[in-house]
Structure 1
Amino acid sequence: MNSLELPTSSGALERYTLAGTPLPEVDHAAPFNRIALSAAHVVADPFANADPSGGGCIDWDKTLEYRRYLAGLGLGIAEAMDTAQRGMGLDWQEALQLIRRTRAELADSRVPIFNGCGTDHLDPASVDSLDAVVSAYLQQVDAIQTAGGRLILMASRALARIARTPDDYATVYRRVLAQVEQPVILHWLGDMFDPALAGYWGTDDLTAARDVALEVMRESAANVDGIKVSLLDKQREIDMRRLLPDGVKMYTGDDFNYPELIAGDEAGYSHALLGIFDGIAPAASAALAELAAGRRERFDAILAPTLPLSRHIFRAPTRFYKTGIVFLAFLNGHQSHMTMLAGHQAMRPLPYFVDLFKLADAAGLLRQPELAVARMKRFLAVYGVSQD
């Protein structure tokens, strides 16, 4: 029987027995009717003699193996994004190496790959002009395009610091978008994901900010594939989706409401660019296959149990959601440890991991129950929780 003792909030132990049925992992040859990009995490090397405060070292074999796993489920890759700890342990030079290696690893794959392009090689405090932000963006644009990669134009901490008006944002994006070789995905990341991005687009009024972003896209529509919105507010995403210029796509980044947004309504739907797809890949793949086959009820039924899990993983402070994503990978045998870049394995309390374990079970996302139980016991032992 797959059971173990789990600590309660009072510190007492209670017996928990797994009850979920693991979802099958099936390679999907048939295309989905939504573009589905998983923002993928990186696996740290626990044996590297590196200062964690400087980020640490990547286990390249395991990191690339996980991308092959996601692609095998039909999911595209959003590479070197915040899920990969971009700006929180992964620096630009490592990000570029990751982009190049993923492209080579998946050269024979048919899944789409987009790559995070930002200004994170700059110290925001040292930036004194919009020209410096433009130059930084273009440095990464050139490097990624030279590597043959498609771009996700990430929100810039440096721009958020130096810009004074919405026109400053429009000026920077206009100049950068004029230099791209293929249409890019813009990235509007809310301050719950990164507090340094508060007031992005030049205003704290989210409706006014939306209108600035829409004007940027209208002006450069030929160079914009779509926009990812990560505000955790489904109605704002739906409202913006209905106002997009013709041909510009909405990519949901709403890890609280993604099933409804992907399924859509009579006026349209969102594609997906989600960090949670890293953790719920089998469910995401199976649900998208059902949606493509016209079976909306099955799509909803598969994803419904993943919502409590996702909302837990992305609970405040949301920026530490990566710890939950890596914990799922650890439980499911995709990596042998819980070490993360910059020591981020310590960014959630023990009750968070206990509840995540239960929610993953309920969602059918512990693919090898005996392994998951063994891993959880090993993890609990670090906290002094015995299984006598």
Structure 2
Amino acid sequence: MTAATESAVGISLTLPIGGVLREHQLGRPGPWRRPEAPITSRIAYAAAHVVPKVLADNTPGAPADLDWDATLAYRHQLWSYGLGVADAMDTAQRGMGLDWAATRELIRRSAREADAVGGRLACGAGTDHLDVADLAGGARGLAQITDAYRAQIDVVRSAGAQVILMASRALAQVAGSPADYLTVYGALLAEADRPMILHWLGEMFDPALRGYWGDTDIDGATSTFHRLVEEHAATIDGVKVSLLDAEHEVALRRALPAGVRLYTGDDFNYPDLIVGDSTGYSDALLGIFAAIYPAASTALQELDSGDGPRAKEILESTQALGRHIFAAPTRYYKTGIAFLSWLNGHQPGFAMVGGQSSGRSVAHLAELFVLADRAGLLTDPDLAAGRMRSFLLVNGVVR
């Protein structure tokens, strides 16, 4: 049996769907277009992934060794569609294979490329270079964490990128109360020479962040977060919220001080949140935009032209794919983004640093293929079918 066969109406692919092999007829790519002018209705960042060298030691625990040409070319794709790039974030496998040495180089290289094309760039600053064995408790530990943040902030600033203050596993480990979070973040925001973006990453993305802001109760955590934003609104460009809770996001958005943006990180409910309602809308800083960027850009262009219903229709056409890619365990969503990148020819192999390409099953990735096709996001169906055939062959699904 072959995995793909040409038919009179297009390409047919045999896929494992629902536990059995079924034929899937591929459709055509969507009517996506690059903008002729900057997108103005929303500020939108795509959180980009990284591509390792094919011959690198991409096993768990090995230092990240990136294919810089492919990694940076992907960022140019995003910029060409009018989107900003959010780099060195969880989508780039911070804390899941991308070590600080590679992260630092990624920030510097991405900044040079952004400057060359006038692309918008924001980069994550965290504390992941800390050796947890050297981490003290109490006030001394908080000081270590603050200094670690400062070191990474300096790297981002020196590169010329906007700073995104990422959530810190070290802070989640050391902090004993909401006041400890206010102490660390308050010191950093008081020192800021330009507005930064705060990133609230939920435990579904990283279980080590459970109880962030000093409370496992969402209302308690929100109270602390809101207090921080109120006290430092002048140095906060916006807040990026990744909790997959649209109702919570809208309530928080309405309560933010004037001038502070809400960048949705909700990869499930982004169509409604971005298009918005009579009370407002969310801007975007989304991992899913790294996968659906041609459609996302086209939708934002429709918003620019005043056609909200069409923009929402386009975004909703990608929603099933987004929910599948970010399905539990959500922290492995990067696998789906890398797989789609490979299918569309943006990297030479389906590989990820730290061996994370094994984070999803063959069945999951086969369904991703179908959903991407239905959303019109397989930009070269012949190439995608050929690569999917190879993937199914090597995994023993077909012969």
**TM-score band w.r.t. shorter chain:** over 0.9
What does 1:137-216 correspond to in 2, within 5 Å?
Answer: 137-216=149-228
SS at match of 2:396: coil
Residue from 3, 22, 32 that aligns with 2:12: 3
CA distance in 2, matches of 1:265, 1:15: 41
Kindly provide the CA deviation profile for residues 186-232 of structure 1, in whole angstroms up to 9, marking residues without a partner as x: 00000000000000000011111111111111111111111000000
1:2 CA drift (Å): 0.9
Structure-to-structure mapping, 1:1-388, within 5 angstroms = 1-10=10-19, 12-49=20-57, 51-124=59-132, 126-128=134-136, 129-386=141-398
| CA distance in structure 2 between the partners assigned to 1:285 and 1:66 by the alignment | 15
Distance 1:240 1:190 in 2: 15
Cα offsets for 1:250-283 (capped at 9, x unmatched): 0000000001101111111110000000000000
Name the CA shift for 1:55/1:351 in 2 (closer, same or farther; >3 Å): farther
Change (3 A) 1:278 1:28: farther
Q: Secondary structure at the match of 2:240?
A: strand
Structure 1 distance, partners of 2:57, 2:260, is 46
Q: What's the secondary structure of 2:97's corresponding residue?
A: coil
CA distance, structure 2, for counterparts of residue 49 and residue 139 of structure 1: 28
1-side partners of 2:101 and 2:110: how far apart?
14
In structure 2, C-alpha distance between the alignment counterparts of 1:152 and 1:237, rounded to whole Å: 18
Give the distance between the partners of 2:184 and 2:394, measured in 1 at CA. 48
CA distance in 2, matches of 1:50, 1:69: 24
Is the alpha carbon distance of 1:162 and 1:125 closer, same or farther for their aligned partners in structure 2, counting shifts above 3 Å? Answer: farther
Distance in 1 between residues matched to 2:336 and 2:29, nearest whole Å: 21
Q: TM-score, normalised by structure 2?
A: 0.94
Letter of the structure 2 residue corresponding to residue 166 of structure 1: P
Q: Matches of 1:125 and 1:231 in 2, distance apart? A: 30
Partner Cα distance (1:210, 1:167) in 2:
13
Distance in 2 (alpha carbons) for counterparts of 1:197 and 1:41 = 21
How many pairs align? 386
Q: C-alpha separation between the residues in 2 aligned to 1:223 and 1:14?
A: 54
AA of the residue aligned to 2:378:
L
Q: How does the TM-score come out when normalised to structure 1?
A: 0.96
Q: 1:329 to 1:23 in 2, by over 3 A?
A: farther
**What is the root-mean-square deviation in Å for CA atoms of aligned residues?**
1.4
Structure 2: tracts of 5 or more residues without a match:
1-9
**Following the alignment from structure 2 to structure 1, what is the Cα–Cα distance between the partners of residues 241 and 57?**
38
